[in-house]
Amino acid sequence: MTYIYLLGFAAALALSFIFTPLVKMFAFKVNAVDRPNHRKVHTRIMPRLGGLAIFAAFAGTYFILSPWLHLDKHNLNLIHGLLAGGTIIVIIGALDDRFELSAKVKLLGQIIAACVVVFGFGIKVNFYNVPFGDPMMPIQDWIAIPLTIFWIVGVTNAINLIDGLDGLAAGVSGIATATILVLALFMVNGGTVILISSLLLGSIIGFLFFNFHPAKIFMGDSGSLFLGFSLATLSIMGFKQATLVSFIIPLFIIGVPLSDTFFAIVRRWVNNKPIFAPDKGHLHHCLQQLGFSHRKTVLMIYGVALFFGTTAVVLSQVSQIANWVTVLVIAATIVVLQLGAEVIGIVDRSRRPLLSVLQRLRMKTETDTNSK
């Protein structure tokens, strides 16, 4: 099957590369464009709808390869669930790219897509584990179903929120997809996840040729929502015990968009602003305000995403005996994230509690040393 995965990756990349210029022309024709304003960094009118090229390449490659895949009913169900929910998401995103739908309408569309995946195809979290406890414990549907829907909708929006610079959301999503691909290679029955990840990664890279700075086309909500939806669904398909402590692996896979979303919510809450109100306080905005160029900012965030992805792979290989390693890594990551957030001022430049504590400790140490 290895040749099928490689062929699928190459075919998806090629189709995405071919479809993207066609979608660009279509976007201009239907006036699905992004105009500059005070919140945006681009200075000229840009075509949206790039997500159509990504989705068309992904779905098209699957249907081209399907006669040679010989998948059983269960794995076909997983792929068809992703395609069905993804189609709804792409339609909602494309309509938003053209007509700018309200946040409530988009949220409703995301919930419907998540419900299609959960109720129509049975894709949901089934098990969880706790540190130093039983490795696999079943979850009741009354918890599993809302948890799965919340996860899918949350990750979908997290990718959408970081789509603020050329190539940023596509690159971060590509790194997350590659991480899932690597993790699936360690799984006993990871063939379906490997296949989907290969097709999705190829579709993203083909699009990135036109989306990396200076971008010729934006992916729009049709792309960012589809990528977020795909990553959320893939993480559930690949890691059926993805809750509580085992949730750590999927959390690390998409660590950049999730942490940026978390800090955005905290920032708006601290400043008494609506949680869904757009602003220029995201990670990429903060890095640019520190003087980094557009390209350097994107590459730096790629580096952070790669760190999260590598950590996810390492943690996935930690045995039950070494649970303390997982706990220590999580604690260290939280501290580093908080320090980084305070340094760049992603929440509030005037409130830096951890840095203040470290500064007081340093001053106390210097005072004690001088007194001796």
Q: Decide if pLDDT at 106 tops 70.
A: yes
Residue 325 lies in a domain: no
* Residue 160 marked as a ligand binder: yes
Most confident of 122-131, 145-154, 200-209, 302-311: 200-209
Burial class (CB in 10 A: 0-12, 13-18, 19+), 74: exposed
Residue 144 lies in a domain: yes
- Residue 371 confidence class, pLDDT cut points 50, 70, 90: low
Interval 334-364: pLDDT, tens: 888 888 888 887 777 777 777 777 777 777 7
Residue 262 lies in a domain: no
Q: Measuring CA to CA, which residue among 52, 4, 60 is closest to residue 30?
A: 52
The answer to whether 184 and 207 are in contact (CB under 8 A) is no
- Residue 15 confidence class, pLDDT cut points 50, 70, 90: very high
- Across residues 214-230, what is the average pLDDT? 95
Averaged confidence pLDDT in the chain: 84
Residue 198 lies in a domain: yes
Q: Measuring CA to CA, which residue among 115, 122, 316, 139 is closest to residue 229?
A: 115
CA dihedral angle for residue 330, residue 360, residue 282, residue 303, rounded to 10 degrees: -50
Residue 60 lies in a domain: yes
Provide the pairing of β-strand 127-128 with 137-138. Answer: antiparallel
Write down the residue that tokens 């890594």 correspond to. 329
Range of the domain at 232: 2-240
Interval 223-260: pLDDT, tens: 999 999 999 998 887 554 333 344 567 778 888 888 88
Most confident of 10-24, 66-80, 289-303, 353-367: 10-24
Token output for 64: 């081209």
- Residue 171 confidence class, pLDDT cut points 50, 70, 90: very high
Q: Return the pLDDT at 239.
A: 57
**Number of independent structural domains in the chain:** 1
Q: Decide if pLDDT at 181 tops 70.
A: yes
Q: Decide if pLDDT at 189 tops 90.
A: no
CA separation, residue 205 to residues 40, 119, 135, 200 (Å): 24, 32, 36, 9
Residue 125 lies in a domain: yes
Residue 71 lies in a domain: yes
Interval 41-76: pLDDT, tens: 556 789 999 999 999 999 999 999 998 888 888 889
Q: Return the pLDDT at 227.
A: 96
Cα–Cα distance for residue pair 335/344, rounded to 1 Å: 14
Residue 151 lies in a domain: yes
Per mean pLDDT, which range of 112-116, 211-215, 292-296, 339-343 is the poorest? 339-343
